[in-house]
Structure 1
Amino acid sequence: MIKVVAKGVYLEGKTDEAIALYDEMVKETRNEQGCIAYNLFRDKDNKDILTMIEEWESVEALEAHKNSEHFTRIIPKIARLRKSAELNVYELIY
């Protein structure tokens, strides 16, 4: 199993715009083969921080996701709304 934690700090006033873009992203991605979970979280103390926590059956499923039409179309739009981003990809040990 692969877990992805993708954290973004959004430009002031742009977080809700990013959430609107994520709406389609989440709906499409949850239907992908190999997607176990795909959830967007908002920081309780800083409303401009959004974190996507994903679970995938395999690296191959994650790679297929990154090459999907909705990913390649929506993620560049979301990226323009961020001040910074951090991405960590984990593999299950236990």
Structure 2
Amino acid sequence: MLIRIVRMTFRPDELDAFKAIFDGSRAKIRAFPGCQHLELLRDLDHPDVRLTLSHWESAEALETYRQSELFRSTWAITKVLFADKPVAFSTEPL
């Protein structure tokens, strides 16, 4: 299993827009082959930061998602809302 964490800093006036994008796409992402879990988190110390936490069957499943039209279209409308460069990393349980 692969756990993917993406930390995104948004312009304060774009938080509602991002929430709407996430709400509109989360069921599709959760249904994507290989996705086992997806949730949205808020950083308690930084109110403009959101994180996605997702579990994937494998690195290949995540990469297939990242090459999909679903990812490309969702990311295209999300990245224009950022106040800072996002940080993403993949982990695995020990």
TM-score (norm 1): 0.90
TM-score (norm 2): 0.90
Query: Which residue does 1:18 correspond to in 2?
Result: 18
Q: Distance in 1 between matches of 2:35 and 2:87?
A: 21
Amino acid at match of 2:21: L
CA contact (8 A) 1:3 1:55 kept: yes
Query: Which residue does 1:41 correspond to in 2?
Result: 41
Is 1:91 matched up with 2:87? Answer: no
Stretches of structure 1 lacking an aligned partner (at least 5 in a row): none
Q: Distance in 1 between matches of 2:91 and 2:76?
A: 23
Q: How does 1:35-74 map to 2 (within 5 A)?
A: 35-74=35-74
Q: Distance in 1 between matches of 2:77 and 2:63?
A: 20
**Structure 1 residue ranges (4+ consecutive) displaced by more than 3 angstroms after TM superposition:** none
**Would you say how many aligned residue pairs link Structure 1 and Structure 2?**
93
Deviations 1:59-88 (A, max 9, x none): 111011112222110111111101121111
Q: Distance in 1 between matches of 2:23 and 2:68?
A: 16
Q: Distance in 2 between matches of 1:53 and 1:45?
A: 18
Q: Distance in 1 between matches of 2:8 and 2:24?
A: 18
Q: Which has the higher strand share?
A: 1
Q: Which has the higher helix share?
A: 2
Aligned-residue CA RMSD (Å): 1.2
- Aligned with 2:12: secondary structure? coil
Counting aligned pairs with the same residue, the percent is 26
